[in-house]
Chain A
């Protein structure tokens, strides 16, 4: 069965610094996708970035980048130049490709607090 592990319940970072949020995954499928979502205190889920298992390069979206290390089964999110508005819960999720349906399995999340 697929599993996502986020070992950091909370992280603190100062404004303008970079921060890495950890995510490890477990799957026996060769084809999978990895997602990061942001959940601010208002509660909505906001898609940030996606990495496919066959993608050759690490995904980047603005200040977000995904440090994908396939052999280690890790997909860490790097936020550069943190902003106060980055304070939120961050969830790593994995998609099971082989069932033919896009089912996401989520980790338990990491709460990021950005201080001035």
Chain B
């Protein structure tokens, strides 16, 4: 099992550009999550999904969108990138609500 994979690992965007952060898991987990980690801080939940076709907002959803068309994939879309979105983005998954979350390696995004 590859676990949770994320692409790209690094990306630099200009203000106003858009991009999609990819996340995939091969553990057949129903629950998937997107977090952002700002320097010196813990992780904050952006969006989460409890299964294909079902998504909901977390603590900091503004400026982001998600979709969950399959169990495996949970892409995060940034529209009109802003410097405040400079952060490290982590995708995670879990088998059900009682189990630990497994994290991907992260995507480091810089918006200039």
Contact = CB atoms under 8 A, between A and B. Distances in A.
Contact of A47 (B97, B101, B106): B101
A100 B31 CA distance: 12
A101 B98 CA distance: 9
Interface stretch (B14-22, B39-47, B67-75): B39-47
Nearest to A6: B42
Candidate in B42, B50, B56, B105 with the most chain A CB atoms within 10 angstroms: B42
Interface in B58-103: 58, 88, 90, 92, 94, 96-103
Interface string A75-101: 000000000000000010101010011
Contacts of A45: 43, 90, 92, 103
Nearest to B31: A102
Interface stretch (A14-22, A65-73, A104-112): A104-112
A35 interface: yes
Interface of B: 31, 33, 40-45, 48, 50, 56, 58, 88, 90, 92, 94, 96-106, 108
Interface of A: 4, 33, 35, 37, 43-47, 50, 91, 93, 95, 97, 100-109
Given A43-B88, A108-B40, 4 more contacts: A37-B103, A102-B101, A104-B101, A106-B43
